[in-house]
Amino acid sequence: MSFDATEGDISDFFSGCSVTSVRIVEDKLERKPKGFAYAEFASLEGLKKALDFNNTQFQGRNLRVSVADPRKQQSLQPRTSRFLHTHL
């Protein structure tokens, strides 16, 4: 993924996939993008559409789209969100 991409750019790119949120991963010390992001989708259908973009061009770079493991829970309470995660 392009290091210049914004969360809005990624949301726009996946606009037909029911994106609900995007998080660009940054280096903790330098606060610079690491070249990948996570997106959440409102439905399984949206996630499946996003997976179709695997190995396509986004801002001049090849994009790898895959399903990511859910975040580790901070508590023992069950997660209530039904959103799906994908690694861009």
pLDDT digits (tens, 9 = 90+) for 1-21: 788 889 999 999 999 999 999
Number of other residues whose CB lies within 10 A of the CB of residue 27: 9
pTM over 0.85: no
What architecture does CATH give domain 7-87? 2-Layer Sandwich (3.30)
**pLDDT at residue 68 is higher than 70:** yes
Give residue 34's pLDDT band: very low, low, confident or very high (50, 70, 90): confident
- As given in the structure block, the two tokens for residue 71 are 């975040």
**Mean pLDDT of all residues belonging to the chain:** 81
User: What local confidence, expressed as pLDDT, does residue 50 receive?
Assistant: 93
Q: How far is C-alpha 18 from the chain's CA centre? A: 12
